[in-house]
Amino acid sequence: MALIVQKYGGTSVGDQERIRSVARRIRDCRDRGDHIVAVVSAMKGVTNQLIGLAQGASGPEMHPKRELDMLLATGEQTTGALLAMTLHDLNVPAISLTGGQAGIKTDSVHSKARIKYIDPEWIIRPLEVGMVVIVAGFQGQDDNGNVTTLGRGGSDLSAIAIAAATNADLCQIYTDVDGVFTADPRLVPQARKIDEITYEEMLELASAGAKVMQPRSVEYAEKLKVRFEVRSSLNQTEGTIVKEETPTMEQVVVRGVSLDENQAKLTLIDVPDRPGVAAKIFQALDRAAVNVDMIVQNTRHGSAPSTDMSFTVDRHDLATSRRVIEALKPEFGIEKVQVQEKMGKLSVVGVGMKSHSGIAAKIFDILARENVNIDMISTSEIKLSVVISSDRSQQALRAVHAAFLE
Ligand code: ASP
Ligand code: MG
């Protein structure tokens, strides 16, 4: 008998019909003799609706965070109760629990609480008498009994944590896609599902724009050594296994490619080359909550050494970044600020890049053939990213995919 933790995301429980089909899937697994813990998200769109209600009550961002957590937690509880009722209707005994009832203990940081530990007794007991246990995702309880939530997308985190705490045999993340793909199938028709991927690769693809799961929960799974499967709740197809790296996984050079089409690039021309300047510039951006991605600096050695400094930000942060930099211009005597508004970041990811050489040269060669100019380059052990103009970036993505993955 296996213990399986199954997480169902918002689309998978999006309406009554979908909830019924989830209930049937759970029933079938149970009929095969497995113990099932189902971790559920709010029905698609519900969390946003609840946020809208809160704004109606007290204006944007003015509501006490404790009460916002009370409100948002009801989304997952609603799904849990409905799923339990549907299971009863199928003659399957089931009980739904809030995060607190399931023993999920967190700190008191409302709206982005951290899980401290899970006391799994209340999950295990009903399982032992043959019930399906449903746990509301995305929520827990602090030491004073207050309801807390774990940050947007936090049901993934709940599922991983519960799988670790109950020592589950299997953790399945059910969503509306068949798994993790070699590229976004909407941009690359030849993209295919990946059978196995390492935590690290999955995180790199996520940071490069491929959002299948909440990145924090993938980090958490890596830390707790929880192997899990991402798969679709809409069919019976096997999904993608996410796990620690094994030697055979290094044989594949490139696991996947991804594209972030929402980048913008700023270049500061003639920044004085002296200690502390970069610190000041990036501290100012940080204070304005701008998330800087790639940074490149090129020093010119003349009589008054100066440097050109380029960095990329999410396009939504461009206006703020510009304002911050304009304000710093007089203090540092920055000559000019150049802005390229429409940039894309193309990333190539694979643990095999550690042990294979010549990958960078091959990528640059492909881009040259496509007549795509490279603006910036950054590398890590398992990733190479280039910033390119966004009007050519989809074409570049397809060319790189064709070369490595088809
Ligand atoms: N319902 C929450 C959200 O939309 C948590 C989740 O779905 O994972 O962020
Ligand atoms: Mg989600």
Report the CATH number at residue 65: 3.40.1160.10
Domain limits for position 47? 3-176
pLDDT at 61 > cutoff 70: no
Going from the Cα of 12 to the center of ligand 2, the distance in angstroms, rounded, reads 10
| Higher per-residue pLDDT: 300 or 170 | 170
With pLDDT > 90 as the criterion, what percentage of the chain qualifies?
85
pLDDT on residue 334? 85
At 293, phi and psi to the nearest 5? -100, -80
Nearest CA to 321 out of 338, 307, 333 is that of 338
pLDDT on residue 214? 87
The answer to whether position 138 is within a domain reads yes
Give the tokens for residue 163: 């799988």
Give the tokens for residue 353: 């890049």
pLDDT on residue 141? 98
Give the tokens for residue 329: 């211009």
Strand order across the beta sheet in which 240-243 lies: 94-97, 132-136, 35-40, 3-8, 170-175, 228-232, 240-243, 196-198
The DSSP bridge partners found for residue 135 are 39, 97
pLDDT on residue 60? 66
Answer whether 385's CB lies under 8 Å from 345's CB: yes
d(CA 168, CA 199): 18
Q: Which residues contact 201 (CB under 8 A, 6 or more apart)?
A: 255, 256, 349, 350, 351, 382
Range in 88-92, 157-161, 317-321, 335-339 the model is least confident about: 335-339
pLDDT on residue 381? 92
41: left (phi over 0), alpha (psi -120 to 50) or beta: beta
Nearest CA to 230 out of 217, 248, 246, 247 is that of 217
pLDDT-derived band at 74, boundaries 50, 70, 90: very high
pLDDT at 332 > cutoff 90: no
Neighbours of ion ligand 2 (CB under 5 A): 9, 153
The answer to whether position 167 is within a domain reads yes
The answer to whether position 24 is within a domain reads yes
Residues within 6 Å of ligand 1 by CB = 10, 41-42, 47, 75, 137-138, 152-156
pLDDT at 261 > cutoff 90: yes
Nearest CA to 276 out of 307, 253, 310, 239 is that of 307
Nearest CA to 83 out of 169, 14, 141, 148 is that of 14
d(CA 273, CA 275): 7
Mutating to test ligand 1, I would choose from 7, 138, 148 the residue with most ligand atoms within 8 A of its C-beta, which is: 138
With pLDDT > 70 as the criterion, what percentage of the chain qualifies?
98
Number of independent structural domains in the chain: 1
User: Considering every ligand atom, which ligand is closest to the CA of 78?
Assistant: 1
The mean pLDDT of 374-403, rounded to a whole number, is 95
Residue that is written with structure tokens 């910033």 in the block:
387
Q: Helix (H, G, I), strand (E, B), or coil: what is residue 31?
A: helix
pLDDT at 188 > cutoff 70: yes
